[in-house]
Amino acid sequence: MPIKAGNEYMSSKRKSLIPILLLVMIVCVVGVVYLATFHKEDMQVVVRDFVTRSLGDHVVIEHIQVGFFPFPHLELRDVSIQDPEQGTPVFQATYIQLDLNFLSFVQDIPMPHALIIEHAVFDLKRDENGQWNYQNIFQKESSDQVEIGAWLLGRSLKLTNGTVHLGDRYRRESAFIIHAEDVELQVEQLVWDGPTEMFLSARFSEGDTRSVLSAYGTLQDIGGFLKEGTTIGRDASPQFDLHTRMDLDRRTLVQLADLLDVHEVPIGLQGRTKVQGHLHFAPGIAGYDLSVSDLVVLTDSVDLNSDINVKGLWRPEPFTFSGQWSSAPVAIQHLPQLLPEGLIPSELSDAIHRQSISGKIQAVSATFTGSSRKEAGHTLTGKFQLSEARLNLGPQLGTVKEMTCTINVGADEIRFFDLRGQYEELPVTQGQGTIVFAEQGPWLTTEFGGRVSAPKIIGLMQTIAGWSLSQRPEEALQGKAGSGLLTMRFAGPLKDPQAIAFQSAEYHAERIAMQLPGLRMPLTRVEGIFAVSEDRLRFENVTGLYGNSDFDIQGTIALEDQAYTDDLRIQGYFSDRDLPTLLSGPALPTQETISGKSQYLLMVSGQLRNPSVKGRISLQGLEIHLPGILYKPSSLAGNLDFHVRVGKKRQFTFESMALNLPSVRFAGKGTFHYDQTLTFNASLTAEPIRFESLPTDLELFEKTISSGTMEGVVHLRGKGGEWRSWSKSGQVTLTNGVVNIEGVRSPISQVALQVKLAGHTAKLEKLQWNLENSQTQAKGIILAWDSKPNMKLSLTATRFDLDLLLSRDKQRSPLREFLETIAGTAKVSARLRFNRASYRNLKVRNLSGQLNVNKGIIRIDRIRGKADEGTIQGRILVNLPVRQPAAMKTWFSINSVPLLTLEKTLLDKQTLDKRLMTGLMTMEGTLQGHGRNPLGVLPTLKGTLKLTIHDGRIKRGVVIPKILAIMNLPNMLQGEVDLEKDGYPFDRQSGTFAIGEGRIVSRDMVMDGPVVKMTAAGQYDLVNDDLDVVTAVSPLGSYFELLEEIPLVHLLLDDDERGIDLAMFSVKGPFQNPAIEPLAVESVAFGVTGFAKLALSILKNTITLPQKLLFPEDNKEANTSSHEPKEQESEDASMETY
């Protein structure tokens, strides 16, 4: 099956080839016959006739040659076409080849299908009316004439080694001529009313220019070019789209621009210009439009990429044009030569010429529009990039160097942004500006800036803003650390850089540190905006720290001849740690006075060298401690308002100042001068303060005043921080006060105080107070009351309780601490006069004395007073160191004071239940002691006492009543004397007591009474509570006979003296319960020693002394010497231990 199919296929192929071979043979036969009968001379005649009929007589062909190999063709040599009107050649060609086909020879008019033209010369001209000479040769001379277009239509065309001479006088004063050589033209198929593909190249032959042009693309409806008329209408519709390349010198470029009526070619385009792009030439609304896209222009001065549109070509009216282009960087000084005249304003050109502006500029995306009409002008807009530029702002402001920025050019202004560069010492990292083309010329407005370190900002502002540090408030202002973003603004005419002026600047501080004049520490972490102009400094949300305090500044300072402000506002929170460092010089004495952190607000106005400051400090959050005066806890609200004027040399004048606390208001004013030291002259007024209304946590005067009303005015004048050296004057009053003094167990009530201050002297015009049962008044003066007080007073009292000064129940006296403070810090001289004074049951009238206090010693002299019918005199000296044991010495005399009163005053009830004695007591002596001994005061007591009691009775006791009971006196005298009820009567008790080394020793105790006489001698150990006394008792008086029967009474005979009836007892043991034992008669008979002998001797002398005084002769021979112990000598009036 496959073999059979293959044979069938071969058979069919043979059958199809037979007709083809027959056709070829027929053609060959016809050709041979044609060639055999063809004559060249006939063909030449036909061609000449055809040319004449087509183009007329103005076409001249010198030689015509017909050829058939390798294909039929005609060769025309030395062809020329004349301008019928001018008679000059329009076209000349050395050689033209017309390629024909075989059918052409059988046609009446042989039409070529291809034309080859060599060494052609086109001499094209346009006259003053816009008429091209080539149009004349295309005009028919007769109706049967064939247009030359018939030769070209549908044909391919190749032109080599051509030359074009183009002259144009249309709308020109002189003929424009351009020459092109080496013209090459290729057209694949020339279509009269359709698209025609073509290629064109040429060389412009002016001198050694070697300018070349090449283009390829499509010609559309080119038949319209051959129509009559001076202009081409839209109905002709000739157009072309060409991709063009050109390599031109400046002369050729100018010629081509002139051809297109572009009369202003930049003169800066020197050297060669290389151009490539796509040209679209087509009819427009009026005339023709030329569109050039993807245009690339490469010159020695600038490289461009552009799209250009020209509208209204080839018509009488001026055309318009526009273009979008970009370029490589080009030097700014070349712009006036590169751009058409008038595109850059003359003032800007002058600025470029003077190099006010220099650098390189690159067109990123620009648009150029305009018209050939001169009065219409040109417009340049778009985006440009500036680099390596310099902007001269004048000799004062300096130059911006290495500047780069992006420029937007508008119709009437130029905007630039993204500015970078170097200005003085400022690296410019951002900026923008505008150049406005106003009537007076281009006006520059620009702002730029960058990061500037704080140490450089002051010097930079001095240079830019023209600050003079010797006249401005920023004198000595220094940047320490950190940096910020500085933005500066300038404006002025570009034509005169010296007229460009600084407008303003903003410094965005970012955590910088600055040192302000007058402050000890720098400001840190400063942030915010400092807006500066030539005459203004504005603070916008400027915050920072001064130590631990923060601040927020808002407002404006006017920097004129005298800097001033109207609205400077400073607020924040301040810390107590920073107050001592606010001003340079000596530290302010506030560190121990104020602690905490609080809010403040300051409003500054007036000249900055002498500003007025109104402020408020919130006291909540602050703990204020003025020792002895004020304590305010941090939780308590309050505020300090003030209005101060700052003068020269740190002089502060407080127009007003008010400290407001709950229920407390202090107002003041004055002048403070803070230079090397603080000097001031101020007054302070305390409005009435009701102490009972004060908050519980607010302490005035250490809460010593709990009630009452105080007010006063104090004027202070002084120097330094030591308030004691200040001069004070004024008046302070307190009414109905209740005062609590530390160490005084009861409050002092009904206090009324009126004191006047004059310098360092306080005049106490009125001071009265009640303390428990005491009512006291004082007047006088206090010298140096604020340092070492020296008081000269008069103290009077209607009632005074001496219990306030004396210890009670082994406790310190109520006024002990107060007295210690006075004794240690003040000198006092006071006259004392108390109408009524009391100490427990002791009532003293008209008590007076002289008080002197100095160096810790309290001395009261000339003490006088009356107690009942008796008197009291004496003086006392007390050494009273603070918080240490006291030392005391006293001299006293008590005369005829009821003993019972003293007993009830000095003894407790338990003792009174055991001991009770009446009578009138007289006592005098000295006594001294101190509390420095670890065993207490008793071992330190020294002194001598002389005691006498008259007309008394012993109602209760632990010694004498027991002795009398042992002697059975109460029973023996029953019916005569009721000793149990009335007590034992006596006429006198007396004795001398020596106190020392913790003991009380007496050698002459005597009791003389109507019942018995009693003597005693012995001692009492105060430390060990040990009583050791021997007493001798003798019955006398009206009861002698009764008492002789007492068993313990014996007759004692002493040599020649008469006998004495007596009984002796030994008293030993504790003072409250001693042991009493009678002495045996044998011991008395055989002699006694010690206290017993002393008691016996005293008794003998007591009994026999009256007889010896009455009968002295009976005692002549008696030469009995007394062996009484020598009494302890009295101490000198001065206190040796002090």
User: For residue 166, what are its two tokens?
Assistant: 């183009």
Q: How many CB atoms lie within 10 A of CB 322?
A: 15
Q: How many CB atoms lie within 10 A of CB 1084?
A: 17
Q: 639-646 and 612-618: which strand pairing? A: antiparallel
List the one residue out of 867, 922, 918 whose CA is nearest residue 895. 922
Q: 156-168 and 114-126: which strand pairing? A: parallel
Average the pLDDT over each of 193-197, 489-493, 763-767, 783-787 and give the range with the smallest value: 193-197
Q: Helix H segments across 139-249? A: 149-152
**What stretch of H or E contains 53?**
helix 40-55
**What stretch of H or E contains 986?**
strand 984-996
pLDDT at 403 over 60: yes
> Please, what's the largest Cα pairwise distance for the chain?
231
Spatial separation of the C-alpha atoms in residues 1005 and 841, rounded to whole Å: 27
Q: How many CB atoms lie within 10 A of CB 869?
A: 10
Query: Tens of pLDDT along 697-749?
Result: 888 888 888 899 999 999 988 887 677 788 889 999 999 999 887 767 788 88
In this structure, the chain runs to a length of 1138
What are the φ/ψ torsions at residue 1106 (nearest 5 degrees)?
-60, -40
Query: Tens of pLDDT along 418-449?
Result: 888 888 777 888 888 888 877 777 788 888 88
Spatial separation of the C-alpha atoms in residues 826 and 285, rounded to whole Å: 118
Asked if 974 and 952 touch (Cβ cutoff 8 Å), the reply is: no
pLDDT at 761 over 60: yes
Q: 664-674 and 1012-1021: which strand pairing? A: unpaired
pLDDT for position 1129: 38
Average the pLDDT over each of 874-888, 975-989, 1095-1109 and give the range with the smallest value: 1095-1109
pLDDT for position 82: 82
User: What pairs with residue 183 in β-bridges?
Assistant: 162
What are the φ/ψ torsions at residue 147 (nearest 5 degrees)?
-65, 150
Query: Tens of pLDDT along 785-796?
Result: 888 899 999 999
Which pLDDT band holds residue 58 (cuts at 50, 70, 90)?
Answer: confident
Compute the average pLDDT of residues 191-212.
Answer: 76
Average the pLDDT over each of 264-268, 596-600, 654-658, 893-897 and give the range with the smallest value: 264-268
pLDDT for position 471: 45
List the one residue out of 980, 973, 1055 whose CA is nearest residue 1012. 973
pLDDT at 206 over 80: no
Average pLDDT of the residues of the chain: 78
Average the pLDDT over each of 219-228, 514-523, 593-602 and give the range with the smallest value: 219-228
Higher pLDDT: 413 or 889? It is 889
CA 58 vs. chain centroid, Å, equals 101
Average the pLDDT over each of 75-79, 547-551, 907-911 and give the range with the smallest value: 907-911
Q: How many CB atoms lie within 10 A of CB 1126?
A: 7
What is the Cβ-side half-sphere exposure of residue 827, based on CA atoms within 13 angstroms?
8
Compute the average pLDDT of residues 454-471.
Answer: 67
Spatial separation of the C-alpha atoms in residues 411 and 379, rounded to whole Å: 6
Higher pLDDT: 1103 or 112? It is 112
pLDDT at 71 over 80: no
pLDDT at 236 over 60: no
**What stretch of H or E contains 247?**
strand 239-249
pLDDT for position 1051: 45
Asked if 868 and 843 touch (Cβ cutoff 8 Å), the reply is: yes
Which pLDDT band holds residue 861 (cuts at 50, 70, 90)?
Answer: very high
pLDDT for position 1131: 37
Q: What is the DSSP letter of 588?
A: P
pLDDT at 1059 over 50: no
Spatial separation of the C-alpha atoms in residues 267 and 255, rounded to whole Å: 13
Query: Tens of pLDDT along 526-574?
Result: 999 988 887 788 889 999 999 889 999 999 888 777 778 888 899 999 8
pLDDT at 1055 over 50: no
Query: Tens of pLDDT along 362-372?
Result: 888 888 787 77
φ/ψ bin of 492: left (φ > 0), alpha (ψ from -120 to 50), beta (otherwise): left
Which pLDDT band holds residue 290 (cuts at 50, 70, 90)?
Answer: confident
Asked if 168 and 132 touch (Cβ cutoff 8 Å), the reply is: no
pLDDT over 70, % of the chain: 74
pLDDT for position 614: 92
